[in-house]
Structure 1
Amino acid sequence: MTRATRLCAALAVVGLLGGCVGLHADDRIRPGLAVDAQDGQPVVILPEGPRPGATPEDVIRGFLRAGGVSGDAIAGAKSYLTTGAAARWNPDVGTVVVQEGSAVVIDGLAGRYRLTATPVGTLTADGRYTPAAPGSEPVRMDLMLTEVGGEWRISDVPKTFGRWLSPSAFAGLMRQVTVNYVATGSASLVPDVRWVVSDRMATRMVRQQLGAVPNYLTGAVRTDLGGGVHLLVDSVPVSDGIATVNLAGTGITNDSAARRNIWAQLVSTVTQAPGVVGVDVTVEGTRLALAGIDAPVATLRELGIDSLGPHVGVLPLVRVGQGLYSVDPSQVEQSQAEDFTDRTPVFPAVQPYFDDLAANFTGQEVAAVDQGELARFRADSAETVPNFGTDLTAPAYDRMGALWVGGRLAKKPNDAAVWAVNSLVWPATDPDAAAVRIPADWLTGRLPVALSVSVDGSRIAIVSTDRHHKDARLDVAGIVRSANGLPTALAATPLRLGPQFASLRDVTWIDDTTLSVLGSVTKDVERPFLVTLGQEVTPLPAVKGALALTTLGGERRLVVRTKDRVFVRAGAGWLPAVGSDLIVPGR
């Protein structure tokens, strides 16, 4: 049959799968939506079904294009399949994002067709997006076509195939949301970023919330929605803005703390769905009782839970010469070095060879490093932590009082490590204030370059390279702590972010789901980037000679330090600030 003869066509993705927006970095600097901007009403796209007499190539092209929709509109994609294949195909089983403008090659022989494309990333069924590493092999998929009533239809789709989408189609179909877990040892919530299809979002988010704790947070967080808890019916109805989550299972206890956590996890997650202003939680139709709670619940504050942030009233420090001075964060761009001439420094003099400084959450201690020396400064004295390593990273404090630093082992310079110091103990020479190595097997053979702890204290971001200062990597891992809050280990499997970076120099947490890194994608000039836990990468304007990052609050108050100057983000540019360094407590 002529239609079964070998077919080979190169199809541009722009024609096959649509427009142009990427998850990966783009060198163009463009403003985005305001942080609190809301999406408008979604546009419902009804893809065209197969036309009479369509060739196998037309059917495949139409099927891939039609897969970029959701809800009832997915019937358009199924119309390209035989009845049996349509019943078996699950579009949500996984998504491959393929490169915009690359060629999708379709080879066909005797009803079997192989598709090949350049991958951008993959999305798993649990909403985890993973970018393709540079130089990744092409992705391939085999489809079977047959004639039904004289028309070509796809008769077999691999079980693991859900959708192939361009970045623009992905951006139009998916939404980035957070799934929330309870920090070990506290009632605070720790978010994990997922991507979900933009229809039936309340239902989709609850499905994600009922899953297991992600590997990179194991030991650092817990969920009280495990142990066989599931939706009684696979749907979360929303009426007058109230989403009703009807649970079932044996894992729901009478423990009031666990019930409060269930409410908190579901409220923080489900209220992200458009149109949802409150959540009601029931167990087999009966409200999940919790003393003092008047359901439905709209905010965590109604549950007695407040978000964690920096300590109120603790001011950042500006470094002028060898002195550290408190400064009003709203005045760092207007102040001059002369303004501090007659003021008394709040800490002992910091010698010029200390390049990297950090302040604890309460503002009562500052740490600084120089190669193999970690010094701690308090109001009236300064001491050095007994020697434990070399090539130390900039230090960082967490809200539980641990002082973190990475580097090489003093006695084994080929081995790298991460240490934590109990900064609540003074003097620094006290044995209980010694640097303790924190186990992290995934750092074996690597050298930490920079680290930063999230404000909630549950996660650490680490930039590392191989022993030859190549293969830069950004990892996020949960922090496992003992009952007294001190760290004992890092999660065994980290979350790798931004595999496209060619170099990385520094990292800082911007908020609970976003980091800023200093690096480059194509070995060009290093610049600041924003990187979300959902793998979105956004470039910011470059600062010549940039060495380090911090923030006075969010991405709009990002701070970049060079060798002897400080710059604060101002719109699409940077304004110079006072001093040679700006130290923000808890950053």
Structure 2
Amino acid sequence: MVLGVVVTGCGAIPRSGPVHRHAEPSPTATEARPTYLVDPAGPVPGAGPEQVVEGFLAAGTGVADDYSVAREYLTPELAATWHPDARTLVHRGEPSLVPRLEDGQYRLNVEVSAVVGATGVMERKPAGSTEVLDFEVVQVDGQWRIAEAPDATLLTPSDFEDIFEPHELYFADPDLSNAVVDPRWFPERTPVSTSIVRALLNGPAAYLRGAVSTSFPTGTTLAGSAVPVQDGTATVELSVPDFDPADIEVNRRMHEQLLLSLAQLESVDSVELVVDGAPVELGAARGEPELADEVTVPSRQVGLVDRQLVFYQGGQTEPVPGLPALDALQPSLPAMDAAAEHFAVVDGADGSLVTLARGEQPAERYSGTGLTRPSFDEHGWVWTADSAGTVRAVRAPARGGEPVRVEAQWLAARTVTSLRVSRGGTRALVVTQQDGVSQLWLAGIVRDGDGTPRRLNEPYRVAADVDADIALWLSDREFVAAPLGGADPVRPRIYDVSGQYEELPAIGGLTGLSAGNGPSAVYALADGTLHMLTGSAWAPQDDEVRDPAFAG
């Protein structure tokens, strides 16, 4: 299998259990030194203004001691106010530094593949995205120093991969039942635990706001300058407005968010929460987190044999009992809820969404051009998008009312080929195409209090400029994506939500995918035969069932 990172083309998805574990960087580590300039050179006496700007840019790899070497290239005034963590630009190709008309002024033109913000949120960029960075150089005590520079550092893809590591922050869904992963990227410097907690207190990424909840009251800040880790315990000292030490439920939820987010570090086994200088009371139940960080689906799939809905599992099929005949339809793209009580198909005759249930007649709910495969969420809604980017959802029962249009203005100029609601119901995984190129997106789902979906937030781009028509959840942190319809062999990819991916074995004639619980439950429909991913091969399973899908 081939491993990769969308930004750089190499890397790997951690596979060690439900919470990914990362080694906390140590200044006394005896491992081999990294290939990037961990100790970049400071300014050379007598260097010209252009050399100073170039040296400053090269010093962006020196993250230690708050970029102390890079600050040596700045005037004392700018060195005191420069914020290197505000933006990290990952560039393609060679940047171009040119002098401007005014003496001492320079402009850097650079093509960027990704930008990481101050809270670790990565924004991936499609090909052709550029940034302009302006600099002004003046003399200080006879040496050229930079008086104006953007709050940013510039890294090559390989340096970025060496310096930064993805980490998972955890928030909760609105009803506080499921944990929701929010991927962030931080430089691997001591201690990463501080970066994680500061970002957690800052709240979820923009694409998740309104779709998830946090346990920390507004205005909560880190009381100390760092989050120390000693003998496996991370001590988090907070300043919490209007803190009530007797509110055990809130205390436990804060502790749980911290534990889920910090336990991915190999150095952290437990969290001690301190507020106003005193350890927080958590009550008797202070063990394992209560939020479920995985929502699974049943092992059986729904598919079609001729025009009949069938269950498929382990190479066997059986008709779904109690459903009406579909002889009057041209059923395709079947779907079902987790309880296998409600079903949906797209009628190929007129492009309509049809819902079904035992003992009820098929109900046509609405129609559209190029409807995506229906997606059931845990609140009882069935979702589709059409090729023009219109997203609609309707309650699954035939008497569930009229469909609602889910606001998603960012889809207006894009062709949607796949939309899947996450198993916890908080995010939509969307594939769009524009000018023959696909983008993979995650968007938070904002709902009314009764669960009615209202809006897809402005999205987070998981992968830019890829070849994919479909993307399906494998868990709440992983999904599989692939192009469909071609005769040539293709390699589906398993992505995690940070954008890292693993390439699966090649398969030709791919026309469909289905995805259950994890990589061991990936199925491919190719040349009319259903295959199951088995190690590094695709094992044929069945040549009758078509369009199979797991619940969701």
Give the TM-score band, short-chain normalised.
Answer: 0.7 to 0.9
Residue 552 of structure 1 corresponds to which residue in structure 2?
A: 516
CA shift digits 1:103-148 (9 cap, x unpaired): 4435377433333322222111121211222222353332415364
SS at match of 2:161: helix
Q: CA 1:562–1:370 in structure 2 vs 1: closer, same or farther (change >3 Å)? A: farther
2:471 to 487, 507, 510: 507
Equivalent runs, 1:174-323 vs 2, <5 Å:
174-199=164-189, 200-250=191-241, 252-253=243-244, 255-294=247-286, 299-300=288-289, 304-311=290-297, 314-317=299-302, 319-322=304-307
Deviation at 1:500?
2.1
Q: Secondary structure at the match of 1:227?
A: coil
* 1:451 corresponds to: 419
* Deviations 1:158-197, CA, capped at 9 Å, x for gaps: 2x32311001111111111122222112332212111112
Aligned counterparts of 1:156 and 1:556: Cα–Cα separation in 2: 56
Q: 1:388 to 1:369 in 2, by over 3 A?
A: closer
Q: Select which of 374, 381, 403 maps to 2:382.
A: 403
Contact 1:505 1:548 in 2 (8 A): no
1:367 maps to amino acid: A
**Conserved? CA contact 1:367–1:374, under 8 Å:** yes
SS at match of 1:118: strand
| Aligned positions of 1:13-32 closer than 5 A | 23-24=6-7, 26=9, 32=12
Deviation at 1:402, TM superposition (A): 1.5
SS in 2 for 1:210: helix
* Range moving further from structure 2, 201-210 or 475-484: 475-484
Q: Deviations over 1:198-247 (max 9, x none)?
A: 12211111110111333322322122214111111221111111111111
TM-score, length-normalised on structure 2? Answer: 0.83
Aligned counterpart, 2:161: 171
Give the AA of the match of 1:306.
Answer: A
Distance 2:319 2:218 in 1: 58
Aligned residues: 525
1:293–1:285: structure 2 CA closer, same or farther, 3 Å change rule? farther
Give the residue type in structure 1 aligned to 2:164: M
Q: State the Cα deviation string for residues 365-399 of structure 1 (Å, max 9, x = none).
A: 33211242323344566512344544322111112
CA distance, structure 2, for counterparts of residue 73 and residue 25 of structure 1: 25
Q: Is the 8 A contact 2:441 2:460 kept in 1?
A: yes
Q: CA RMSD in A?
A: 3.4
Distance 1:142 1:274, change over 3 A: farther
Looking at structure 2, the residues matched to 79 and 88 of structure 1 have their Cα atoms a distance apart, in angstroms, of 13
* Aligned partners of 2:97 and 2:108 also within 8 Å: yes
Structure 2 equivalent of residue 130 of structure 1: 123
Structure 1's 137 and 73: CA in aligned 2 closer, same or farther, altered over 3 A? closer
Give the gaps of 5 or more residues in structure 2.
26-30
Q: Which residue of 2 aligns with 1:495?
A: 460
Q: 1:97 to 1:145 in 2, by over 3 A?
A: farther
Name the CA distance, whole Å, in 2 between partners of 1:73 and 1:492. Answer: 34
SS at match of 1:306: coil
In structure 2, do the counterparts of structure 1 residues 292 and 38 end up closer, same or farther at CA, with 3 Å as the change threshold?
closer
User: What CA distance in whole angstroms lies between the structure 2 residues aligned with 1:124 and 1:22?
Assistant: 18
Match in the other structure for 1:35? 15
Partner of residue 49 from structure 1, selected from 34, 42, 53: 42
Distance, in Å, in 2 between the alignment partners of 1:41 and 1:223 is 25
SS at match of 2:257: helix
The change in CA–CA distance for 1:31 and 1:381 in structure 2 (over 3 A counts) is: farther
Instruction: State the partner residue of 1:357.
Output: 334
Distance 1:222 1:344, change over 3 A: closer
Determine whether 1:146 maps to 2:139: yes
Q: What amino acid is aligned across from residue 368 of structure 1 in structure 2?
A: V
Render the CA deviation track for 1:434-474: whole Å, top value 9, x for unaligned: 433333333445554321011111111233457xx867554
1:421 aligns with 2:412: no
Checking the alignment, whether the CA contact within 8 Å between 1:373 and 1:384 is kept in structure 2 is: no
Aligned residue identity for 1:194: R
Change (3 A) 1:260 1:548: farther
1:572 offset after TM fit, Å?
A: 4.4
Instruction: Indicate how the Cα distance of structure 1 residues 38 and 476 shifts in structure 2: closer, same or farther if over 3 A, else same.
Output: closer
In 2, the alpha carbon distance for the partners of 1:318 and 1:391 equals: 19
- The CA deviation at 1:549 is 2.8
By how many angstroms is 1:573 displaced?
Answer: 4.3
Could you say which residue in structure 1 is the equivalent of 2:373? Answer: 394
1:107 aligns with 2:107: no
- Of 412, 433, 444 in structure 2, the residue corresponding to residue 478 of structure 1 is 444
Q: Which amino acid aligns with 1:481?
A: R
Please tell me the residue identity of whatever aligns with 1:450.
S
Residues 15-60 of structure 1 deviation map (CA, whole Å, 9 limit, x = unaligned): xxxxxx863374xxx7836512865675663333344554545443
- The answer to whether the aligner puts 1:577 opposite 2:541 as a matched pair is yes
Q: Aligned to 2:352, which of 364, 373, 379?
A: 373
State the one-letter code of the partner of 1:134.
A
Conserved 8 A contact 2:47-2:144: no
Q: Which residue of 2 aligns with 1:567?
A: 531
d(CA) in 1 for partners of 2:21, 2:294: 24
Closer/same/farther in 2, CA of residues 31 and 256 from structure 1, 3 Å limit? closer
Distance 1:126 1:230 in 2: 14
Structure 1 residue 554: Cα displacement: 2.1
Q: Which AA in structure 1 matches 2:429?
A: A
Query: Which amino acid counterpart does residue 444 of structure 2 have in structure 1?
Result: G
Tell me the SS of whatever aligns to 2:207.
helix
| 1:117 matched to 2:117 | no
- C-alpha distance in 2, partners of 1:490/1:252? 33
CA deviation after TM superposition for structure 1 residue 539, in Å: 5.0
- The C-alpha deviation readout for 1:315-343, integer Å capped at 9, x for no partner, is 33454445555454xx4xxx4xxx65xx6
Counterpart in 2 of 1:383? 362
Amino-acid identity (%):
25
User: Aligned equivalents of 2:337 and 2:240: distance in 1?
Assistant: 44
Deviates more, 1:245-254 or 1:188-197: 245-254
Do 2:229 and 2:235's aligned partners in 1 also have CA atoms closer than 8 Å? yes
Between stretches 162-171 and 250-259, larger displacement belongs to 250-259
Aligned residue type for 1:285: G
The more displaced of 544-553 and 272-281 is 544-553
**Cα distance change of structure 1 residues 39 and 461 upon mapping to structure 2, 3 Å threshold:** closer
Q: From the superposition, tell whether residues 387 and 182 of structure 1 become closer, same or farther in structure 2 (CA, over 3 Å).
A: closer
Seen in structure 2, the aligned counterparts of structure 1 residues 576 and 145 have a Cα distance that, compared at 3 Å, is farther
Q: Distance in 1 between matches of 2:8 and 2:334?
A: 30
